[in-house]
Amino acid sequence: MVKARTSAAELVISGHVRINGARETSPGHAVKLGDVLTIALDRTVRVLKVMGFNERRGDAASARVLYEELSEAKRN
């Protein structure tokens, strides 16, 4: 959803991320398969279900297969 880990951490610390409906405050919180993330980002709210993980960091295209978009407002 963001390009850098520091940006992701800032989203969590500022209260813009929920995991399974509960506001997350720790950037290091483990995410599990099947978890639903709600992320307030760029004046939209995205709801994503975790479908898998990669061993190594990859590009955006490979990341898209690791989650299912549940929100109606999909980004291109």
Structural domain includes residue 9: yes
Residue 59 falls within a domain, yes or no? yes
- Number of structural domains in the chain: 1
> Within a domain: residue 75?
no
Compute CA distances 8 → 39, 44, whole Å. 10, 16
Residue 34: which domain range? 5-69
pLDDT digit string, tens, across residues 22-76? 999 999 999 999 999 999 988 899 999 999 998 888 888 888 899 999 986 555 4
In a domain, 62, yes or no: yes
Instruction: Compute CA distances 6 → 28, 51, 55, 71, 74, whole Å.
Output: 11, 23, 20, 24, 24
Contact 70, 48 (CB under 8 A): yes
For residue 74, tell me if it sits in a domain.
no
Strand, coil or helix: what is 35? coil
Statement: the pTM of the whole predicted model exceeds 0.95: no
Task: Give me the CATH number covering residue 13.
Answer: 3.10.290.10
> Sign (positive/negative) of CA torsion 7, 9, 14, 17?
positive
